[in-house]
């Protein structure tokens, strides 16, 4: 790959900004990454699809190694790689007059019956005029989808939340905040219980944001989740990412919420835009393989006598198995955890699961 000092500098700046928390949240991270990758594609320093895919894989590999917990970055790279494959196949089919221009779309039958033999016969090293323009059009569609994903999820609030219901949520999720605000506008006499999600206690920020005359807002400590669950009608939470088996990498405390909800047969609804679906599995229950650790100072201050001999871990994420999740609500509608595998085949190509 040719040296691209300007793009390399932008890549390093993006990684730095994410690590020092200048760019926070999955939406902002994927939006900035999309802007970077769009610049790489539009620069036109590649001659054919194979070279472009090699460039994107290289950038994706760097981002994945530097930001192992931010799965949305690798998800975006995988999705763009599939778009390149589809557009190349479409242009190749037009050249060989295999299909009419009026029917120049990938049919569901082709997606289902596509074999590895067909994939091997495709030579992505052949230049195809119009490929860059077609890819950039798709990237614009992805950008529009990102901008409207939260709005699309919130539009479904009225279908899932009814008047006088008691809703429990955890911490502070951007999607959950807007979803519950929409529910408060449409439904009367709601009671929203917010677990504070210690030690950061981001639930207090959500409570302040949702403060309204139309709903009763109750903030509880995490230790009271099980005690309050018997009064709850629905659990609504956000998630950091959705794994290939339908499990979650969610805020620490989500597993406690899921177990309590299962005990009382309370449905758990997870708000997850499509860009959070990742074709990865839980590789290990060890914290260093799956999790990341926060600042232990918030749990036990360093100047305490016990801190000298104590070893303290403050995990940021919980793994929630798919059997504890009732329904996913994405910007394309509601899906059961068992349907995640089908969504992954629509978003990503199997050859791109490992970047």
At 59, which CATH number? 1.20.120.420
What predicted TM-score, i.e. pTM, was given to this entire model?
0.83
Percent above pLDDT 90 for the chain = 18
At residue 96, the pLDDT reads: 64
| Together in a domain, 209 and 339 | yes
**In this structure, are 32 and 162 located in the same domain?**
no
What average pLDDT does this structure show over 181-206?
87
Same-domain status, 268 and 218: yes
Least Cα distance to 235 among 316, 128, 127, 324 occurs for: 324
Give 294-338 pLDDT, tens digit per residue.
777 777 777 777 777 888 887 888 889 999 999 999 988 889 988
CB-CB contact of 33 with 74 (8 Å): no
Residue 21 in this model has a pLDDT that exceeds 90: no
In whole numbers, what is the pLDDT of the chain averaged over residues?
A: 83
Q: Which residues, 6 or more positions from 334, have their beta carbon under 8 angstroms from its beta carbon? A: 156, 160, 327, 328
Q: How many domains does the chain have?
A: 2
pLDDT at position 327 is 93
Helix (H/G/I), strand (E/B), else coil: 293? strand
Contact (Cβ atoms closer than 8 angstroms) between residue 73 and residue 29: yes
pLDDT at site 109: 53
* The Cα angle at residue 248 between residues 111 and 225, in degrees rounded to 5: 150
**Where are the strands (E) in the chain, listed by range?**
166-170, 190-195, 215-220, 234-238, 241-242, 248-251, 268-271, 317-320, 327-330, 333-335
What range defines the domain where residue 48 resides?
5-96+125-145
Q: Do 129 and 239 share a domain, yes or no?
A: no
Confidence of residue 3 (pLDDT cuts 50, 70, 90): very low
C-beta neighbour count of 301 within 10 angstroms: 10
Count other C-beta atoms under 10 Å from residue 275's C-beta: 26
pLDDT tens string 104-160: 455 555 555 554 444 456 766 677 777 788 888 888 888 898 889 989 999 998 888
Work out the end-to-end distance of the chain between its first and last CA atoms, rounded to an integer number of angstroms.
16
Return the structure tokens found at 299: 């749990």
pLDDT, tens digit, for every residue of 39-74? 888 886 777 878 888 888 888 888 888 888 888 898
């Amino acid at each position: 790959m040719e040296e691209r000092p300007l793009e390399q500098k932008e890549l390093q700046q993006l990684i730095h900004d994410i690590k020092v928390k200048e760019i926070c949240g999955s939406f902002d991270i994927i939006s900035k990454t999309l802007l970077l990758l769009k610049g790489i594609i539009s620069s036109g320093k590649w001659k054919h699809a194979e070279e472009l895919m090699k460039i994107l894989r290289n950038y994706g590999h760097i981002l994945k190694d530097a930001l192992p917990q931010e799965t949305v970055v690798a998800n975006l790279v995988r999705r763009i790689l599939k778009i390149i494959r589809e557009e190349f196949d479409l242009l190749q089919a037009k050249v060989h007059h295999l299909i009419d221009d009026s029917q120049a779309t990938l049919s569901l039958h082709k997606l289902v019956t596509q074999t590895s033999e067909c994939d091997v016969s495709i030579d992505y090293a052949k230049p195809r005029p119009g490929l860059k323009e077609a890819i950039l059009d798709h990237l614009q569609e992805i950008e529009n989808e990102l901008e409207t994903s939260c709005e699309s999820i919130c539009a479904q609030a009225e279908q899932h939340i009814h008047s006088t219901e008691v809703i429990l949520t955890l911490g502070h999720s951007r999607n959950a905040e807007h979803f519950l605000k929409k529910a408060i506008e449409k439904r009367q006499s709601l009671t929203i219980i917010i677990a504070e999600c210690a030690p950061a206690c981001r639930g207090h920020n959500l409570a302040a944001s949702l403060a309204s005359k139309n709903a009763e807002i109750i903030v509880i400590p995490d230790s009271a989740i099980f005690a309050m669950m018997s009064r709850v009608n629905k659990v609504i939470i956000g998630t950091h990412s959705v794994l290939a088996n339908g499990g979650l990498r969610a805020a620490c405390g989500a597993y406690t919420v899921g177990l309590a909800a299962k005990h009382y047969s309370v449905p758990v609804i997870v708000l997850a835009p499509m860009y959070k679906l990742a074709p990865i599995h839980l590789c290990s229950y060890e914290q260093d393989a799956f999790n990341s650790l926060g600042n232990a100072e918030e749990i036990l201050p360093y100047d305490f006598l016990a801190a000298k001999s104590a070893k303290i871990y403050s995990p940021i994420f919980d793994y929630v198995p798919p059997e504890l999740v009732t329904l996913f609500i994405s910007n394309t509608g509601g899906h059961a955890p068992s349907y995640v595998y089908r969504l992954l085949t629509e978003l990503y190509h199997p050859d791109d699961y490992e970047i």
